[in-house]
Amino acid sequence: LSTKRESETVNITCRCDSRQGSCLSAHLSLSSEPVTMILRQFTARMAPQACVGVRNSLAAQRLLVEVARHNSDMAKFREVFSKAKHIAIITGSGVSAESGVPSFRGAKSYWRKWQVQDLATPEAFSRCPSRVWEFYHHRRELMLAKKPNAAHLAIAECEARLTRQGRSVVVITQNIDELHQRAGSKHVLEVHGNIFKTRCISCGDVKVNHHNPICAALEGKGSPEPDAIDANIPVEKLPRCEDGDCNGLLRPSVVWFGETLDSDVLTKVEKELDICDLCLVVGNSSIVYPAAMFGPQVASRGVPVAEFNMTTTPATSRFTFHFQGPCGTTLPPALAPHETEVI
């Protein structure tokens, strides 16, 4: 794993036996001391565990399925759940997918003729802020029309109920759609930001903004069709900062490809992962870093981790439990009131 901090390069070398298979690794560009420190903590803990050493073969897949089958004991999970005081729930795009929110992968990774990875970058915004804002206007409209599903609601209800019992639930999400908050979750850490927040590129002011459209010039714009023509909105008519007399250009307050994660958010995540006595990894592919390291990091200190996902993942064998199927189906009974709870 190689990370860059200003002019210094920090290399963390995997010592796995390559004959056993490919190790889990990531490349992140880091520009701040706290983020580099946090990633060092993650990698120091995870380097030995991350080398799963399982080939991507049919035999490996059969092994993962067999491990998952043996770990799908809901009664045992419920017993662990009933005793947990600090629960961390890590959620990924699989949760939002059940609400109809498309991910950045596969056929849905295109907007017009561009891949999302080519639009969601600082460079793309610098070259053509109008096009990028059209894309995000389309995504904001799409997400505003979606509703929390059974998984979101189960998590929110669980948090409210356990809070009354003096227990805690934190949601650590990679999703930017705010569906957890709309379901009622209060303690949410957004690792990749929030599409309904803006950040001024001049003064740095961050504000919540649910206006639709976010500015008059974007009304009726943002069609995703391949033959749609760019609106080429003048930059002065794009969303502008209203903090005092700044009037700087606004951008979505999300983490773009090639950008660093918010060090303050990562510090809070680290604290939550350090104190949790039960961790759920929900709708997460376990391939996007650093979030892919969160669950295995918790498991490495002996804390039970339960994975809820449509399929097995590269991290499945590291976890105590695996429940396969739609999160909206598997999660509600898992988080329902336990018979020992005093409600």
Q: Residue ranges for the binding site for Zn(2+)?
A: 200, 203, 241, 246
- Mark residue 222 as left, alpha or beta (left: phi above 0; alpha: psi -120 to 50; beta: remaining): left
Structure tokens at 332: 């509600």
Which residue in 138, 192, 210, 211 is the catalytic one? 192
Question: For residues 189 and 170, is the Cβ–Cβ distance under 8 A?
Answer: yes
- Mark residue 148 as left, alpha or beta (left: phi above 0; alpha: psi -120 to 50; beta: remaining): beta
For the chain, helix, strand, coil in percent to 5 are 40, 20, 40
Structure tokens at 61: 């897949």
Q: What is the DSSP string of 65-106?
A: HHHHHHT--HHHHHHHHHH-SEEEEEE-HHHHHTTT---SSG
Structure tokens at 242: 């209203």
Whose structure tokens read 């809820």?
308
Q: Write out the binding residues.
A: 200, 203, 241, 246
CA 176 to chain centre: 8
- Using the Cα atoms of residue 186, residue 190, residue 196 and residue 198 in order, give the sign of their dihedral: positive
Q: Is 322 a catalytic residue?
A: no
Distance CA(330)–CA(150), nearest Å, equals 10
Contacts 24+ apart (CB under 8 A), 104-113: 110/224, 110/226, 111/135, 111/138, 111/224, 112/223, 112/224, 112/225, 112/226, 112/228, 113/226
Distance CA(208)–CA(198), nearest Å, equals 7
The single-letter code of the amino acid at 136 is Y
Question: For residues 286 and 313, is the Cβ–Cβ distance under 8 A?
Answer: yes
Distance CA(281)–CA(252), nearest Å, equals 27
**Which residue numbers are catalytic?**
192
